[in-house]
Structure 1
Amino acid sequence: MNNDTLAIVTGASQGIGRATALRLARDFHTLVLVARQRERLEDTAAAVRREGARALVIDRDLSEPDAASHVVDAALAAHGRIDAVLNIAGAVPQVDLFEMTDEQWDAGIALKLHGARRLTMRAWDALKASGGAVVLTSGNSATVPKAPYAAVGTINAAIVALAKAFAERGTKDGVQVNSVLPGPVMTDRRRTYLETWATAHDMSTESATRTFLAQAGIGRYGTPEDIAELMAFLVSPAARWLTGAQLRMDGGEVQAI
């Protein structure tokens, strides 16, 4: 662990964000954990501290325009520097293209796209000073959009484009920026979706899981820990010459080049 480093992890209360925070606790002295659910954040913070790292909890909704400034100001006040920003927050409703409301579109864009954009921009000067790294989280639907998940695909595609733009600026400013495209990962949210789908189709959750895995053409769902390992690599010294990339981790679901 580097005794001088700090990483900001959003969406840290559950799923990939929580797993990433626990993985980064091995490498960073201080983690700033951001999400909307205070109780779950505190649970993540306790686990991070057991790994030997410091943890600062900030329960803010990153869709709010002033939230990014609050997070960065708190991080700098606590530690004086920022070495990595991992933008993981941003669940987007999986609603059919013709059923999704303007309010649902706006909420998804405000949290996942604008939340990541504002936080990265607000932290940029500190990242320049430290020669830091940024990760933006997208998903397979960025390149394989489908009508049942139109908003997810549209926003994820925007995340990839945004990461490219930040990476281009980063080549001048000394900031590394990449995007990660996770495939099907077994989180609490996905587990609930499978249970609901199974009930609606009068089958067991196990049968529903096998059905979706067969449709995806993969042997198993990914775990949050699978993605966390990739996140940790991207903000490590080993990845310093990797920037502007979109890294897909999906168990082979997407066969396109």
Structure 2
Amino acid sequence: MNEKNKIENQKLTFKLATFEGPLDLLLHLIKENQMDIYDISMATITSQYIDYLHQMQTLELDIAGEYLVTAAMLLNIKSRMLLPNEQAQESEEFDDPREELVQQLILHQTFQMAAGKFKDYASERQKSTSREQEPVPSDAKLGQLKQGTSVYELQHAFARLITKKQLSRPVTRQVHIERYTLKEEMVRLKARIFTTKNAIEFTEVVSDETDTEQLVTVFLALLELIKRGAVIVSQATTLGPIIMRSGEDNALESS
């Protein structure tokens, strides 16, 4: 191989970076030249951009049409900046031929930064693993309703109590400090049920004077006692009265 062929081969030996379009290439050139994006040297950038296209042609790489369109735009801007600006001579304000290009570059740069953030988020998310729901332990003591009674029926019975109190009409209320707690109502309800030998109805532990806040708290206390197996609930008929009696765990304990 002679010296001339060696020189030609050396000219074809270079590495091209991968860019996602002409704006991506322009931002790369601006960064490499440490230019202000608002004050681009069109002569330098245009020359380097066209050199890059020539390198792609030398390697017989396909050049997308958008690269050629951008090259034409750069040459147009460069030529407009070389021509004397009559408007600038008459006034200090004039249209900068680079303005539209700068706006496109800033918008593209913004999308690049956003894409980088999303990539970082995706990378961090891949380091995490979602925990699957643990199965219910076989020895767990779960509350049960008496056969023939369902939570759905309890809800209907409770809704009927609400209706009897005529809560459907608009009322004006004020927010107050919590007057009833679930723990206190559970203790009171357990004491009432455990000190009564016979089964009692839910309506016996509330009255017409019981306000809505306490009524809801008492019902939630009943559901919690059912869940813990401390109270057994049944209904003789659909939407009938809620009958309560003590369960197997009938020791009066504050929970």
Q: TM-score, normalising length from structure 1?
A: 0.19
More strand by share: 1
Q: What TM-score comes out, normalization by structure 2 length?
A: 0.19
